[in-house]
């Protein structure tokens, strides 16, 4: 027994040491938890002294990384300054910033090009830019000895191949023009014929809810309905802004057809063609020439129904008859070819630049975006900007330069590059060139085969964006000792697969806006990529926002920040610190986006308390591994920016998304759990409602199932790819028939049934819908983070999936820890009564043996009010005032107080007779932050509910002096300033929406202020 006790003690030493280190780090977050920050240098408004002061203020706030973005913005919002990008002064200031950051212990990252998106500049020529395939068709009749000049499809055309193929039978049934304002178009044929497709041509923005009908007798029957949308012509959502819109349908005979156009845009549509031959439905979208036009493409946006089968082969193109006649095409642009008998279509295919430029950038820094599917030009791009900055600074001054930054992808797609045909052959085992006529909507082989070719093209583009662009930039950065930080999604024209894309970065980041829905899919996208690719730290561009200048403050930010933690984020990057070059301007340089995390904002320095909160949360959420019980497979189709949860998880469980690459290369099964090499594990793998899967992946899933892994989802019916067609389809059918006979491969079941099958209880049972959570597990402890996302107090008693441990409450606002005396040890669970005030959050930690629950003691005893501190209060603004009662500054009769922005100093005295309890000053609601001192002792800053602070160590018998420094926002000061004549105004902000009639923001110490005791 002594031996066992001694062994227990020896083995416990490392565990106890680790627990003590975590506890210490929670109280005083280590340097490794310092936050990151976007540092925007706006529109040539920069100064050497300004960057020094910016960096000093960042260091004071607890910032460990600053990512410099040279942004050239709309001059109507941010007038341009005098220090032009790449001028001698710009180089000098950049060197100063990087040197000073090293002195302050701050790491610097450089956005890899001017602007925040994406990777380009004036050094990128068309031949190194993002490109797409284009070609103009010419029809010739043989036999003849042809000598014909073939036109280039556009400027800076780069030849790829010249193809010829037999012209399908004439298929245009009728063409009709659109007249402005029409709500329907009649398509009258000379005689009855069979229609199979419809194409709409546009020259401007157009949108309509469309329905194609055929006349049968005296009425019209619906053939198909569809939404045509060409309302976003930006080149970052497609290199053909008004690409034709194609619709395919099963053969329909008729003489009179009608196209209804409900809620249409009145103009933009030019012509409609009804065709006898099939066309590939949405062929422009399927080749990425027109992409999803809104910021949040959901899981199914690049999925289309299986194409109707064409039975009349005279209307299609046999792949075997597509001829490569490039050898007959001369450098003089003349095709000299002996044309066989019949009608032939000839196309000179080549690459054109998409024309997308890096943005938003000043004219000195703007240029074409570099090729995203070929790493060869990437070295040149890197050398022209990041490499040039690095090499311009002596080695002993650039120690801070650690990161290359790639923000969210916003530059659209491309579909070809220099070695594309060879890469295609290597990946899929067949030559893509005979299939290129599909890009004009024509059916090669069959409609199904043509769709499969387009699927392969999109998948290859997605893979190459990840491995040529992201991995290419990463590898180049590594050569210079730098690392790549990347956001793994894109709001405009994202062409890759978010998990594989993020997996190639050194550190992956998400994003969320403080208001609205942007971020709702991005944070889980980032955390899933990090978890499945073995990256512990998951960043997020945090508190991005639009409009409402200066209105935000930490209490308003907390809810969304806490939400991000429950999505898997564990490193906060603040958006945004706008560089402040002018000391004579307040509030200074600002923009119409972001939260003003800069040294000229009123609450910036008091915001250190908020930063400390974020750092504590980040620190704990980086411990151990995430506990996410379910892995949702996202499917193999691309592009892909998010996954889908179908069936949805019940509340109390969490999940990651997983992709084919990780399943194939990193996933195994152990003791019934799917496990990754880094220790992350899942109890259940869920397949989406798709009919397609490639054989290689299905073989791996079959192997995992045979090892005991439980899989929920439908059996695939075919491969989506043309690779190894049709044998691959037969393989899929054979494998699926065998695999879905296994008892642990489930289909047609609700999620609750599947969870019951694997005997998996919720990680947190009895948790209310307004409470979100996340869970990290380490060798020595389990850490649950719970956030009340509502504006009311919530009382609840969750049961944690833990056994034999003492629950503790770790308060990240204060850094304090206490045992929770009331809990119930259950079978496979510990029930803990909890109370969370509005938007409050806590960590519930299990790390030590339980102390027997103490009868009668509550986890959250009701505080006792000992006295209300009614004042009078001496309050110092620019002058000192006496407040007999606490008053909202915005309601004060004195205009100087009503229009005040900044810090005011309250003080009062009160008498107390402290005993042995814990004592608190409860300030009541504060607008917006308050630093508290009692008897000269600094007790900290209050910035969120419950607005009270522990004063036990400072409270004394007799008279006590309470001092409260209250800061509000710039809003009221800007409103008051707007009432003055222009020449008398003292404030200057280039984005200032405030006018005399604007609504004032509540401000000050609102009270009531109370002295309370709590029997903890």
In a domain, 701, yes or no: yes
Tens of pLDDT, residues 280-337: 999 999 999 999 999 989 999 999 998 776 666 778 999 999 999 999 999 999 999 9
Whether residue 213 sits in one domain with residue 149: no
3-state secondary structure of 620: helix
Nearest CA among 954, 952, 927, 924 for reference residue 938: 954
Nearest CA among 600, 520, 614, 603 for reference residue 558: 614
Kindly tell me if the per-residue pLDDT of 120 is higher than 50. Answer: yes
Beta-bridge mates of residue 444: 317
Whether residue 1003 sits in one domain with residue 877: yes
Give the alpha-carbon dihedral of 348, 353, 355, 358, to 10 degrees. Answer: 170
The CATH number of whichever domain residue 288 belongs to comes to 2.60.120.260
In a domain, 1003, yes or no: yes
Whether residue 969 sits in one domain with residue 876: yes
Joined together, the tokens standing for residue 853 give 């629950």
3-state secondary structure of 213: strand
Please state, in angstroms and as integers, the Cα–Cα distance from residue 625 to each residue in 499, 683, 763, following that order.
18, 15, 14
Residue 941's pLDDT is what?
Answer: 98
Arithmetic mean of pLDDT, 254-260: 97
Whether residue 545 sits in one domain with residue 637: no
Rounded to two decimals, what is the model's pTM?
A: 0.97
Residue 18's pLDDT is what?
Answer: 73
The C-alpha angle with vertex 482 and arms to 476 and 485, in degrees rounded to 5, equals: 90
Structure-token match 């000061």, residue found: 973
Q: Which residues have CB under 8 Å from 943's CB, separation 6+?
A: 553, 554, 555, 606, 607, 609, 610, 926, 928, 929, 930
What is the DSSP pairing of strand 937-942 with strand 988-989? unpaired
Label residue 884 exposed, middle or buried (CB < 10 Å: 0-12, 13-18, 19+). exposed
Give the alpha-carbon dihedral of 261, 265, 268, 269, to 10 degrees. Answer: 0
Domain span at 232: 172-315
Beta-bridge mates of residue 546: 593
Q: Specify whether the CB–CB gap between 329 and 138 falls below 8 A.
A: no
What is the rounded distance in angstroms from the CA atom of residue 508 to the CA atom of residue 529?
8
Tens of pLDDT, residues 845-894: 999 999 886 778 999 999 999 999 999 999 999 999 999 999 999 999 99
In a domain, 465, yes or no: no
Kindly tell me if the per-residue pLDDT of 14 is higher than 80. Answer: no
Q: Specify whether the CB–CB gap between 65 and 109 falls below 8 A.
A: yes
Whether residue 376 sits in one domain with residue 310: no
What is the DSSP pairing of strand 483-487 with strand 710-712? unpaired
Residue 407's pLDDT is what?
Answer: 97
Residue 601 DSSP symbol:
S
Whether residue 190 sits in one domain with residue 252: yes
Confidence of residue 13 (pLDDT cuts 50, 70, 90): low
In a domain, 201, yes or no: yes
Share of the chain residues as helix, strand and coil, in percent rounded to the nearest 5: 25, 35, 45
Rounded to the nearest angstrom, the gap between the alpha carbon of residue 267 and the centroid of all alpha carbons in its chain is 35
Over pLDDT 70: what percentage of the chain?
98
What is the rounded distance in angstroms from the CA atom of residue 376 to the CA atom of residue 370?
10
The C-alpha angle with vertex 557 and arms to 552 and 561, in degrees rounded to 5, equals: 155
Tens of pLDDT, residues 813-852: 999 999 999 999 988 999 999 999 999 999 999 999 998 8
Whether residue 774 sits in one domain with residue 654: no
Structure-token match 């801070």, residue found: 400
Whether residue 399 sits in one domain with residue 291: no
In a domain, 979, yes or no: yes
Whether residue 801 sits in one domain with residue 888: no
Residue 3's pLDDT is what?
Answer: 38
Residue 437 DSSP symbol:
G
Residue 889's pLDDT is what?
Answer: 98
Q: Specify whether the CB–CB gap between 139 and 343 falls below 8 A.
A: yes
Whether residue 607 sits in one domain with residue 588: yes
What is the rounded distance in angstroms from the CA atom of residue 967 to the CA atom of residue 901?
8
Kindly tell me if the per-residue pLDDT of 1 is higher than 60. Answer: no
What is the DSSP pairing of strand 794-796 with strand 926-927? unpaired
In a domain, 18, yes or no: no
HSE-up (13 A, CA, CB side) for residue 781? 26
Domain boundary among 353, 373, 403: 353
In a domain, 254, yes or no: yes
Joined together, the tokens standing for residue 715 give 């059996």
Label residue 233 exposed, middle or buried (CB < 10 Å: 0-12, 13-18, 19+). middle
Q: Specify whether the CB–CB gap between 941 and 931 falls below 8 A.
A: yes
Number of domains into which the chain is organized: 6
The CATH number of whichever domain residue 768 belongs to comes to 2.60.40.1180
Joined together, the tokens standing for residue 579 give 């560089």
Whether residue 500 sits in one domain with residue 374: yes
Residue 1016's pLDDT is what?
Answer: 82
Kindly tell me if the per-residue pLDDT of 17 is higher than 80. Answer: no
Arithmetic mean of pLDDT, 979-1005: 97
Tens of pLDDT, residues 560-602: 999 999 999 999 999 999 999 999 999 999 999 999 999 999 9
Q: Specify whether the CB–CB gap between 637 and 720 falls below 8 A.
A: yes
> Please, what is the angle between helix 554-566 and helix 608-621, to 10°?
10
Beta-bridge mates of residue 686: 632, 712
Please state, in angstroms and as integers, the Cα–Cα distance from residue 980 to each residue in 340, 890, 985, 993, 996, following that order.
84, 18, 6, 15, 9
Q: Which residues have CB under 8 Å from 549's CB, separation 6+?
A: 590, 592, 596, 970, 989, 991, 992, 993, 994
The CATH number of whichever domain residue 696 belongs to comes to 3.40.50
Asked, as a colleague might, if the bond just before 726 is cis with ω within 30 of 0, I would say yes
Please state, in angstroms and as integers, the Cα–Cα distance from residue 59 to each residue in 53, 109, 291, 839, following that order.
10, 16, 43, 28
3-state secondary structure of 418: coil
Q: Specify whether the CB–CB gap between 165 and 364 falls below 8 A.
A: no
What is the rounded distance in angstroms from the CA atom of residue 204 to the CA atom of residue 614?
48
How confident is the prediction for the chain on average, in pLDDT? 96
Gyration radius of the chain over CA positions: 33
Whether residue 833 sits in one domain with residue 914: no
**Ordered strands of the 937-942 beta sheet:** 880-883, 873-876, 903-912, 958-967, 929-934, 937-942
Confidence of residue 8 (pLDDT cuts 50, 70, 90): very low
What is the rounded distance in angstroms from the CA atom of residue 461 to the CA atom of residue 496?
7
DSSP 897-916: HHT--SEEEEEEEEEE---S
Domain boundary among 848, 872, 896: 848
Q: Specify whether the CB–CB gap between 64 and 403 falls below 8 A.
A: no
Q: Specify whether the CB–CB gap between 122 and 366 falls below 8 A.
A: yes
Burial 78-92 (b: 16+ CB within 10 A, else e): beebebbbbeeebee
Tens of pLDDT, residues 51-109: 999 999 999 999 999 999 999 999 999 999 999 999 999 999 999 999 999 999 999 99
Tens of pLDDT, residues 900-958: 999 999 999 999 999 999 999 999 999 999 999 999 999 999 999 999 999 999 999 99
In a domain, 3, yes or no: no
DSSP 558-579: HHHHHHHHHTT--EEEEEEEE-
Domain boundary among 572, 591, 623: 623
Tens of pLDDT, residues 18-42: 778 999 999 999 999 999 999 999 9
């Amino acid at each position: 027994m002594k031996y066992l006790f001694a062994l227990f003690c020896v083995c416990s030493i490392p565990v106890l040491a680790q627990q003590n280190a975590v506890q210490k780090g929670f109280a005083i977050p280590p340097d490794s938890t310092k936050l990151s920050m976007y540092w925007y240098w706006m529109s040539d408004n920069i100064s050497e002294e300004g960057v020094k002061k910016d960096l000093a203020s960042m260091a004071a706030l607890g910032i460990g990384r600053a990512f410099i973005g040279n942004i050239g913005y709309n001059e109507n919002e941010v007038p341009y300054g005098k220090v032009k990008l790449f001028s001698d002064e710009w180089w000098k200031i950049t060197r100063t910033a990087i040197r000073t950051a090293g002195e302050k212990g701050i790491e610097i990252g450089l956005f890899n090009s001017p602007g925040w998106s994406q990777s380009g500049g004036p050094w990128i020529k068309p031949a190194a830019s993002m490109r797409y395939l284009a070609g103009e068709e010419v029809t010739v009749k043989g036999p003849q000895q042809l000598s014909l000049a073939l036109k280039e499809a556009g400027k800076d055309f780069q030849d790829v191949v010249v193809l010829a193929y037999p012209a399908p039978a004439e298929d245009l049934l009728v063409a009709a023009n659109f007249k402005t304002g029409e709500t329907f178009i009649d398509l009258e044929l000379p005689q009855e014929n069979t229609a199979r497709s419809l194409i709409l041509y546009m020259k401007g923005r157009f949108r309509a809810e469309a329905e194609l009908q055929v006349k049968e007798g005296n009425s019209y029957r619906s053939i198909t309905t569809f939404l045509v949308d060409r309302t976003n012509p930006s080149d970052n959502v497609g290199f053909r802004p008004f690409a034709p819109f194609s619709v395919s349908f099963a053969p329909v005979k008729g003489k009179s057809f009608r196209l209804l156009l409900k809620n249409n845009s009145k103009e933009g549509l030019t012509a409609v063609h009804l065709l006898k031959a099939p066309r590939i439905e949405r062929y422009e979208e399927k080749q990425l020439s027109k992409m999803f036009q809104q910021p949040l493409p959901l899981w199914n946006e690049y999925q289309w129904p299986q194409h109707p089968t064409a039975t009349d082969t005279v209307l299609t193109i046999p792949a075997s008859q597509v001829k490569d006649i490039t050898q007959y095409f001369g450098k003089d642009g003349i095709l000299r070819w002996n044309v066989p008998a019949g009608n032939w279509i000839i196309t000179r295919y080549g690459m054109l630049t998409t024309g997308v430029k890096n943005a938003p950038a000043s004219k000195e820094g703007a240029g074409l975006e570099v090729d995203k599917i070929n790493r060869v030009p990437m070295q040149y791009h890197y050398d022209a900007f990041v490499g040039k900055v690095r090499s311009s600074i002596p080695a002993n001054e650039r120690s801070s330069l650690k990161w290359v930054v790639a923000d969210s992808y916003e530059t659209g797609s491309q579909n070809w590059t220099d070695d594309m045909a060879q890469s295609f052959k290597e990946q899929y085992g067949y030559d893509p060139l005979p299939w290129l006529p599909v890009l004009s909507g024509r059916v090669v082989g069959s409609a199904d085969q043509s769709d499969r070719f387009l699927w392969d093209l999109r998948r290859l583009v997605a893979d190459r964006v990840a491995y040529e662009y992201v991995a290419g930039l990463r590898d180049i950065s590594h050569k210079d000792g730098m690392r790549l930080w990347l956001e793994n999604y894109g709001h405009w024209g994202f062409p890759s697969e978010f998990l594989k894309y993020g997996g190639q970065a050194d550190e992956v980041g998400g994003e969320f806006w403080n208001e609205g829905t942007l971020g709702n899919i991005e944070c889980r996208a980032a955390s899933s990529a990090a978890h499945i690719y073995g990256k512990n730290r998951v960043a997020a561009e945090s508190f991005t926002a639009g409009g409402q200048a200066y209105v935000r403050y930490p209490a308003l930010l907390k809810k969304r920040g806490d939400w991000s933690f429950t999505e898997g984020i564990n490193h906060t990057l603040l958006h945004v610190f706008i560089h402040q070059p002018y000391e004579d301007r307040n509030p200074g340089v600002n923009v119409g986006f972001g939260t003003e995390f800069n040294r000229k904002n009123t609450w910036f320095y008091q915001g250190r308390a908020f930063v400390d909160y974020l750092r504590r949360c980040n620190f704990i959420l980086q411990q151990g591994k995430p506990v996410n019980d379910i892995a949702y497979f996202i499917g193999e189709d691309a592009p892909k920016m998010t996954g889908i949860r179908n069936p949805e998880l019940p509340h109390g469980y969490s999940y990651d998304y997983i992709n084919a690459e990780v399943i194939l290369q990193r996933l195994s099964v152990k003791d019934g759990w799917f496990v990754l090499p880094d220790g992350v594990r899942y109890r259940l793998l869920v397949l989406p409602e798709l009919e397609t899967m490639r054989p290689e992946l299905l073989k791996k899933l079959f192997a995992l199932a045979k090892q005991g892994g439980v899989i929920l989802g439908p059996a695939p019916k075919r491969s989506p790819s043309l690779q190894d067609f049709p044998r691959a389809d037969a393989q899929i059918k054979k494998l699926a028939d065998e695999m879905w006979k296994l008892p642990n491969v489930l289909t047609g079941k609700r999620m609750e049934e599947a969870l019951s099958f694997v005997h998996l209880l919720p990680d947190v049972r009895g948790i209310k819908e307004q409470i979100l959570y996340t869970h990290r597990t380490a060798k020595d402890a389990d850490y649950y983070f719970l956030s009340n996302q509502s504006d009311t107090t919530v009382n609840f008693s969750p049961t944690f999936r833990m056994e034999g441990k003492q629950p503790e409450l770790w308060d990240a606002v204060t850094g304090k820890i206490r045992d929770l005396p009331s809990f119930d040890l259950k079978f496979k669970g510990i029930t803990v009564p909890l109370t969370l005030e509005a938007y409050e959050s806590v960590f519930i930690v299990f790390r030590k043996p339980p102390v027997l629950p103490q009868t009668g003691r509550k986890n959250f005893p009701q505080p006792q009010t000992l006295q209300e501190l009614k004042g009078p209060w001496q309050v110092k603004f620019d002058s000192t005032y006496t407040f007999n009662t606490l008053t909202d500054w915005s309601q004060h009769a004195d205009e100087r107080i009503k229009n005040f922005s900044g810090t005011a100093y309250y003080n009062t005295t009160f008498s107390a007779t402290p005993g042995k309890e814990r004592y608190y000053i409860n300030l009541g609601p504060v607008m917006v932050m308050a630093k508290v001192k009692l008897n000269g002792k600094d007790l900290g800053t209050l910035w969120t509910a419950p607005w009270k602070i522990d004063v036990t160590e400072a409270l004394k018998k007799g008279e006590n002096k309470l001092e409260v420094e209250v800061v509000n926002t710039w809003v009221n000061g800007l409103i008051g300033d707007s009432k003055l004549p222009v020449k008398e105004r003292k404030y200057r902000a280039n984005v200032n929406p405030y006018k005399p009639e604007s609504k004032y923001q509540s401000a000050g110490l609102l009270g009531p202020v109370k002295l309370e005791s709590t029997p903890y």
